[in-house]
A and B are shown apart, each in its own frame.
Chain A
């Protein structure tokens, strides 16, 4: 069983509403789904679409083939008709455009007319959901309940939507009775239906983050929205800074004073934050920065995806200082990994950059509920009986990690941090000896950090002839590609990185030199992971499979490229 739905229309027509409602309905029925968005950088008009794939087992990525095409406008129909399967169906509104006479797959539903009859034109989406439910053989009950939850407190609205839903259902059922009958699945297990940005926001909260300062920038804004929605009920402050420079400096102030702090942005905003990143390095102030990548340079493609900032974040900042770079891979892993980012930041008193991207940020999927008990929360602060008085913020230690106290924590003791080179107490110095001691103290932490990096995930053939390297949000697509290649008899494995800097090397060194052919799959034009691997290990990757059109990979693109080298 595998059903692929694509809903498309102009921005502002509310594809999100359709997909959220349908997605949550499906998950409550027990199906596994993935839902991704493709949208333009405009608020109205243009061409936006969302894909939703339903399966009995975890679908890792959307695919090109379409079973049900919901065309809210004619452009959607024209753009996507070539991918519609021979048995596919097209839901469209006969009042807004008509299909060619020979097109027999059409299923006309008067979306707008029915919506107007039951509440208003905005409910056209709900009508469409009703029609979709018929086509996959589901009753409207679960969706009705969801609409009640959605519009709780706004009574009339829930009722109107339910009527619109039923109207869509009724209208479509006359024409198509369960065109794609989904098999029954276990529906008593509770699953989440959640997107990447929400996962990161939730993980930050559950990691004890109490302060977010950020300046809105797609695709990171969803994290800010999620956290802002929680700031009324939980001990959390979200402040929209005047710019990214303020955002990172505010977060550093909050971290210095004692709360776990976060800032989120995308490449352009991170560029502005780089000075503050260097300040975090010099002052040894813990900070987590989520960089949700989008194609650059400059403003690039604001709503599209890319993995173009790895080289930048690994080396960003003036001067030398230790940092860690982790990335969002699978939705499940990202929840626990961001917790690790907070832990590393506090433990080593360093900035930690967490790389996400639009593909991860905007993708919803069904997931097992998270185990919050697996998260760690330790602040690594010094106890009063362990400090030398007067307190020295930058005491030289063997590990390079100085005992960290907070301002105001111990009466009589003050905490001084400085962006200038400083002595153990934090006071400005210029002498060569202290400078050396401080540089060495800070840099000693790099080796400790390297020990904390998780080795890349190995998946696929245990004795691979082909090895595919990847990182970040391509995790799912690579898994599906490896499965497809293995099924085709090509001994393939993938090595997928979630921790990127300091680069973990053990598995790389033990595998990469021994395979017949190696590939690196990246959503960028330069092959940045491959370059990093080469720089750190001296080993080149044989072939780069790159994509930089702002869209994420589909498994067949990777399979095709690997198959070019023969079976």
Chain B
């Protein structure tokens, strides 16, 4: 089957974990029958964030750490757009940490796919907020000393309605999870373990493969179970949708966003002249 979304060459290193993420997303969008012009990917800066250039979609490839704010702005302007944010772990959890936290509270209808390679790829291998302690880099010369940031636990603690972890080496699972995230009403976080073959010599495909597993889940709206899974890291790393329980979205809190898209409402300045009457 021809995929409507796959496009041209990439500038990623051969063997990089980003490739199957791109394919999974292209397939997910196709299978959900989106058309390229209906989809917007907002991204920041980094290897992962280059993805709007490698898919046929509308793209806002903005600033480092700043993928979420324009995504919300665009979503508010035009609710007909399917808005996706795609970026790296440094981008989403480091530089963009404040936006990450507050968008969970805001809960706009946006799917957020984080390529988590536990390292800064584009700037050549510095530690990221998710690097495991002990990892040595050109900057963390004696090894990372700070504990790793736990995005899933943070998202759950902030009240995110959809929280999942995937692995770039499990493409089918990734694609199916992406589809669920895309169809979820509200903010959906999918943290994707993505080996960086050039700079992360610790968390390799083999390292992840040895550890990842699909836990049995008895319910998707069991928050404490989700929290437990999000805390599990090390010898065994669970994959899957840990939590799926919609709550009211940002859009539903704004009357004007629930009918016509804002961009479709006609406008003529003269019609507004009565708004000055309150000052008479």
Contacts and interface: CB of A to CB of B under 8 A. Distances in A.
Interface stretch (A109-117, A307-315, A370-378, A512-520): A370-378
B254 interface: yes
A308 B228 CA distance: 54
A339 B272 CA distance: 14
Interface in B201-256: 254-256
B78 A241 contact: no
B258 to A, nearest CB: 12
Task: Count chain A CB atoms within 10 A of each CB in B42, B101, B268 and give the residue with the most.
Answer: B268
B94 interface: no
Interface residues of B, number: 54
Given A210-B262, A237-B254, A257-B40, A192 B69 contact: no
A206 B57 CA distance: 33
Contacts of B50: 428
Contacts of B254: 231, 237
A234 B70 CA distance: 22
Contacts of B146: none
A255 interface: yes
B71 interface: yes
A279 B263 contact: no
A428 B275 CA distance: 45
Nearest to A366: B279
B38 to A, nearest CB: 6
B142 interface: no
A230 B101 CA distance: 28
A420 interface: yes
Interface in B1-25: 11
A92 to B, nearest CB: 31
B52 A416 contact: yes
A253 B42 contact: yes
Interface in B96-110: 98-99, 101-102
B262 A279 contact: no
B267 A407 contact: no
Interface in A350-380: 369-370, 372-373, 375-377
Interface string A268-292: 0000000110010001000000000
A538 interface: no
Interface in A411-432: 411-420, 426-428
Nearest to B102: A242
A259 B263 contact: yes
Given A210-B262, A232-B255, A243 B73 contact: no
Task: Count chain B CB atoms within 10 A of each CB in A254, A411, A426 and give the residue with the most.
Answer: A254
Contacts of A339: 269
B262 A259 contact: yes
Contact of A202 (B42, B101, B102, B275): B275
B125 interface: no
Contacts of A259: 76-78, 262-263
B101 to A, nearest CB: 8
A339 B98 CA distance: 33
A407 B40 contact: yes
A249 B69 contact: yes
A198 interface: yes
Task: Count chain A CB atoms within 10 A of each CB in B36, B98, B276 and give the residue with the most.
Answer: B276
A190 B274 CA distance: 13
A372 B270 contact: yes
A242 B99 contact: yes
B45 interface: yes
B171 interface: no
B173 interface: no
B58 A250 contact: no
Interface in B52-99: 52-53, 56-63, 66, 68-78, 80-81, 98-99
A428 B80 contact: no
A256 B70 contact: yes
Contacts of A206: 269, 272-273, 275
Contact of A249 (B66, B268, B280): B66
A416 B52 CA distance: 8
B265 interface: yes
B37 A254 contact: no
B49 to A, nearest CB: 10
Contacts of A420: 45, 61
B257 interface: yes
A263 B88 CA distance: 27
B273 A250 contact: no
Nearest to A201: B275
B267 A208 contact: yes
Given A230-B275, A236-B256, A414-B57, A253 B77 contact: yes
Contacts of B81: 257, 407-408
Given A237-B256, A243-B98, A408-B37, A256 B60 contact: yes
Contacts of B38: 408
Contacts of A411: 35, 37
Contact of A416 (B58, B268, B273): B58
Contact of A257 (B62, B78, B255): B78
Task: Count chain A CB atoms within 10 A of each CB in B11, B50, B70, B270 and give the residue with the most.
Answer: B70
B248 to A, nearest CB: 16
A205 interface: yes
A159 to B, nearest CB: 22
B25 to A, nearest CB: 15
Contacts of B255: 232
B213 to A, nearest CB: 36
Given A243-B98, A259-B263, A419-B63, A205 B275 contact: yes
Nearest to B98: A242
A264 to B, nearest CB: 15
Given A253-B70, A377-B267, A408-B37, A419 B78 contact: no
B141 to A, nearest CB: 29
A558 interface: no
A275 to B, nearest CB: 6
Interface string A213-230: 100000000000000001
Contacts of B62: 249, 252, 279, 283, 419
Interface of A: 28, 190-194, 198, 202, 205-208, 210-211, 213, 230-232, 234-237, 239, 241-243, 245-247, 249-259, 261, 275-276, 279, 283, 339, 369-370, 372-373, 375-377, 406-420, 426-428
Interface of B: 11, 35-38, 40, 42, 45, 50, 52-53, 56-63, 66, 68-78, 80-81, 98-99, 101-102, 254-257, 262-263, 265, 267-270, 272-273, 275-276, 279-280
24 contacts: A198-B279, A208-B269, A210-B263, A211-B76, A237-B76, A243-B98, A246-B69, A246-B102, A250-B72, A250-B73, A252-B70, A253-B71, A253-B74, A254-B76, A257-B78, A257-B263, A370-B273, A375-B270, A408-B37, A411-B35, A413-B37, A426-B59, A428-B11, A428-B53
Given A377-B267, A407-B37, 7 more contacts: A28-B280, A211-B73, A211-B262, A412-B36, A413-B37, A417-B60, A418-B53
